[in-house]
Amino acid sequence: MDLDIVSIIEKKKFGHELSKEEIAFFANGAANGSIKDYQLSALLMAIRLMGMNRRETVDLTLSMAESGDQVDLSAIPGVPTDKHSTGGVGDTTTLVLAPLVAACGVPVAKMSGRGLGHTGGTLDKLESIQGFRVGLTMEEFIAQVQRIGLAVIGQSQNLAPADKALYALRDVTSTVDSLPLIASSIMSKKLASGAKAIVLDVKTGSGAIMHTLENSIELAQAMVRIGTDAGRRMVALVTDMGEPLGSHVGNALEVKEAIDVLSCRVTGPLLEVSLALGAQMLIAAYAAATVEEAEGKLLNALRTGQGLEKLRDMLIAQGGDPRVCDDVSRLPQARVIREVPALGEGFIQSMETTRLGNLAQHIGAGRREKTDVIDYSVGFVLHHRIGDYVGVGEPIATAYCRNEDDADLAELSIQNAIPILRHRVPPLKLVHAIVEEDQITRC
C-alpha cells in the first residue's frame, strides 16, 4: 500500500483512526527527515486536536522506539528495572532509590537525561562529582550492571530519533500539551532503553507538566497501558510537585542531600517518596510481594549503609570521586552564600515551584541554551515547607551563588515565590495515587 503524508494528515484532521502502517510511516519520516517539518507539524496539530485512541498511542510509541537504537538488557540476570520521573524541582529520587534498590539485589540499568527548562537533570547532578562519566558504551553499561547491579548513564544519541524530531516541533507549534504525544514521547525512550520493569513518577502541581491531579492520573494511566501493551511490568505513582521535593535545589547541593539521606543524617519527603517508588521497583522485579516487605528491605539497606556503599561502587565504576560519600565538602562550593529572610510573620501558604526552578536555572544551575555551561555549585536550600510557621527575619532559605548580583536575584525571587500569611494551611500530600493498568488507588 502506497502511503503519503498528506492523506494521513487529512485522515486525522477529520478524527479518523490511523493504521499501524500509517503511524510507522509518520514516525520513520520524522526520524529520517523524509517528511517535511511543516507536514509533521500539521499532523501533530491534528493529533493535538483530535486525539489518539489506546491502540494508536501504543503504535506511535513503538514506532518511535523502533526508529533508532534499542538496548538489549537480556544479558543482565534478574529483572532490569528503571524509574522515570516526568520532571520536577529538587527531585533527587534517582540518587537515593537507585542505590537502595540495587543493594536489595534488583539490577538498575538507567538511562537519564539532562535538565530541561525549570526541571533538573540527573546527569547534570552526577557530573557535579569530579570525574564522573555518563558516556559509557553499551558494552560498558551492561557489564557494569552485571558486576555491581547499578549504572546511570546518558541516553544514546540514536535513541528514539523520531521523538527528538517531533519533540523539537511540538515545542514551537503549541502541541506540547497533547496527552498521547506526551505519553508516547516519554515511553518511546523508556521502551528503547530496554528495562523489563518500569516505575513511573508522574508529578502533579505547580511545578509539574500536568498541574491538576486528574490530568496527571490520566497521563500516568496512558503510559502504564502503553508499557503493559509492550510487554513491560508497569506501575505509576502520582506524586506532588506543589513545592520542591527535596530541600536542596542545584546540582552539587542535590547530590549532597542524597548522600545525607543515604548516610541517615536526614529524613523527610525526599526519602519518603524514594521509598515509595523503590518499593514499587522491588515488587515489579519480583523481589518483594508487598509494599511493606519492599520498604522493609529498602530501610534495611539504608540503615546498614548498603545503599551508600552501592552509590560508592557506582562512582568508582564510572570514574567519579568516591570520597564525596564521606565528605560532601569535596563537592563544588559556591563563592557567595546568603541567608534569605522572611519578609513577614505567619505560615507558608504555597510555593511557586516553577518559578523556583527557573531561578535555579537563571543563577547558573541549569541551561537556557544548549551551549550554556552549568555552574554545579549554585542553587539554594529551603529551610521550610508549606504549612510551616516562620517569624519576621527568620531565614527561609540559603542561596548559593556565583556573585552578589545573582544573590540579590535569588533573595528577591525566593521571597516572592513563597507567600507568608497569617492563616494556617495543611502540608501537602506526597503521594496522591498508585496507577496500574486497570486500577487507580487513591492515597
Q: Which residue has the cell 513511573?
A: 200
Residues 271, 409 within the same domain: no
175 and 123 both lie in a single domain:
yes
Q: Are residues 136 and 256 in the same domain?
A: yes
Q: How far is CA 109 from the centre of its chain?
A: 15
Q: Which of 80, 76, 109 is nearest to 94 (CA)?
A: 109
* Least confident residue range of 40-54, 154-168, 319-333, 372-386: 154-168
Task: Please determine, for residue 52, whether its predicted confidence score (pLDDT) is greater than 80.
Answer: yes
Give 90: exposed, middle or buried? Use CB within 10 Å, 0-12, 13-18, 19+.
Answer: buried
70 in a structural domain:
no
Same domain, residue pair 61 and 87: no
- Burial of residue 2 (CB within 10 Å: 0-12, 13-18, 19+) is exposed
Total domain count, the chain: 3
CATH code of 11's domain: 1.20.970.10
Query: Does the structure show a pLDDT above 80 at 114?
Result: no
Percent of the chain surpassing pLDDT 90: 88
290 with 366, same domain: the answer is no
In a domain, 76, yes or no: no
> Which entry of 12, 83, 189, 203 is annotated as an active-site residue?
189
pLDDT of residue 206: 84
User: Choosing from 69, 91, 163, 375, which is the catalytic residue?
Assistant: 163
* Averaged pLDDT for residues 268-278: 97
Catalytic residue among 12, 48, 83, 84: 84
pLDDT > 90? residue 217: yes
Q: Are residues 347 and 435 in the same domain?
A: no
- Strand 233-240 with 197-204, pairing: parallel
Mean pLDDT, rounded, of the chain = 94
Q: Which residues pair with 431 in a beta bridge?
A: 239
| Domain coverage including residue 38 | 5-65
- Indicate whether 349 and 250 sit together in one domain: no
Does residue 191 lie within any of the structural domains? Answer: yes
Q: Is 432 a catalytic residue?
A: no
The answer as to whether 343 is a domain residue is yes
Span 136-154, average pLDDT = 95
**Is residue 189 among the annotated active site residues?**
yes
Residue 211 dihedral angles phi and psi, to the nearest 5°: -85, -25
Same domain, 119 and 200: yes
Q: What is the pLDDT of residues 312-330, one digit of tens each?
A: 999 999 999 999 999 999 9
Q: For position 349, which CATH number holds?
A: 3.90.1170.30
Does a structural domain hold residue 338? Answer: yes
Mean pLDDT of 119-137: 91
Q: Would the pLDDT of 117 be above 80?
A: no
CB 80 within 8 A of CB 109: yes
Q: Which among 224, 217, 236, 243 has a CA at the least distance from the CA of 276?
A: 236
Query: Three-class SS string for the chain?
Result: CCCCHHHHHHHHHCCCCCCHHHHHHHHHHHHHCCCCHHHHHHHHHHHHHHCCCHHHHHHHHHHHHCCCECCCCCCCCCCCEEEEECCCCCCCHHHHHHHHHHHCCCCEEEEECCCECCECCHHHHHHCCCCCCCCCCHHHHHHHHHHHCEEEEECCCCECHHHHHHHHHHHHCCCCCCHHHHHHHHHHHHHHCCCCEEEEEEEECCCCCCCCHHHHHHHHHHHHHHHHHCCCEEEEEEEECCCCCCCEECHHHHHHHHHHHHCCCCCCHHHHHHHHHHHHHHHHCCCCCCHHHHHHHHHHHHHCCHHHHHHHHHHHHCCCCHHHHCCHHHCCCCCEEEEEECCCCEEECCCCHHHHHHHHHHHHHCCCCCCCCCCCCCEEEECCCCCCEECCCCEEEEEEECCHHHHHHHHHHHHHHCCEECCCCCCCCCEEEEEECCEEEEC
> Among this protein's residues, is 163 annotated catalytic?
yes
236, β-bridge pairs: 200, 435
Q: Is residue 73 part of a domain?
A: no
Give the global pTM: 0.93
Domain with residue 116: its CATH number is: 3.40.1030.10
Quote the cell numbers at residue 206.
505547580
Min mean pLDDT across 177-186, 365-374, 379-388 is at 365-374
In a domain, 71, yes or no: no
Residue 84 appears among annotated catalytic residues: yes
Residues 94 and 37 in one domain: no
Q: Tell me the C-alpha to C-alpha distance, in Å, between residue 356 and each of 86, 132, 180, 428.
A: 17, 27, 28, 17
pLDDT at 156: 78
Contact predicate 299/93, CB 8 Å: no
pLDDT score for 8: 96
d(CA 433, CA 370): 35
Helices 138-148 and 306-317: angle between axes, nearest 10 degrees: 150
277-318 tens-digit pLDDT? 999 999 999 999 999 999 999 999 999 999 999 999 999 999
Inside any domain, residue 426: no
Whether 184 is catalytic: no
Domain identity same for 215 and 273: yes
Compute how many other C-beta atoms are within 10 angstroms of the C-beta atom of residue 290.
11
pLDDT at 210: 82
Quick one: what percent of the chain has pLDDT higher than 70? 98
Q: According to the model, what pLDDT value does residue 86 have?
A: 87
Q: Is the pLDDT of residue 139 over 90?
A: yes
> In which band, very low, low, confident or very high, does the pLDDT at 115 lie, cut at 50, 70 and 90?
low
Which single residue is written with the C-alpha cell 515489579? 284
* Structure confidence at residue 367 (pLDDT): 77
- Residue 250 and residue 294 share a domain: yes
Distances, alpha carbon 93 to alpha carbons 76, 85, 88, 340, 440, in Å:
23, 9, 10, 26, 23
- Domain match, 315 and 338 both: no
